[in-house]
A = this chain, B = another copy of it.
């Protein structure tokens, strides 16, 4: 998605520049070597190729080394909801543990390098390395938290808030991986962005264009530059509408966000 393409994947986990992302704290050198033994293989997926598909039997989880991937769920009639965009250091596929069948699809957005890890081997290893077990719980727990944020966005935010939230979110994910947090390349299309955020791609274009007019960002094609992160954050939180600073007497507050959907009961 961003940063240098690392297409020459190293052979060992211990040589891998991102293993501290997919397997943070608490795993010793010896354990890393164990892990290295079970990683099935490093594979390259090209744009549009599937890491896994809906309904296929669950056998492996995938650690992203470089590139980016979208995951999405499907309806019978062909409608699609993208549930996430994933970049280097993220682990995919654990959501199939329960049913033993993938409940969504994962597709590369660009050339993407991954480690495929057979789940049953990973589970065995987990029994010897408690911190690895814990790590799996953490990864899933984090995914749940992300998904909850997305539900909040889909259920309660307007178009401006959605886009602003999206940009801010990308920015901080890049920052975490020490890429630029103010200038980056989108690997997904406008249409994918719209699908993910629950809006039409035309609306994505229009809102981005307005953000540019207002000096919040600049865009050319898929390159974004965030020019006013502070204001963008405010918009994401719903503070972009400039609440009338001194509400005239007799004038109903007419808050930009209705009291509906706020906590009451």
Contact = CB atoms under 8 A, between A and B. Distances in A.
Given A127-B130, A147-B147, A81 B152 contact: yes
Interface of A: 48, 73-81, 83, 94-99, 103-104, 123, 126-127, 130, 133-134, 136-145, 147-152, 154-156, 189, 191-192, 195-198, 200, 237-239, 257, 260-265
B147 A261 contact: no
A145 to B, nearest CB: 5
B137 A81 contact: no
B103 A200 contact: no
Contacts of A156: 75, 79-81, 198
B98 A257 contact: no
10 contacts: A73-B149, A81-B155, A95-B144, A97-B138, A98-B139, A123-B134, A137-B137, A140-B140, A143-B144, A154-B154
A75 B133 CA distance: 32
A77 B144 contact: no
A133 B94 CA distance: 14
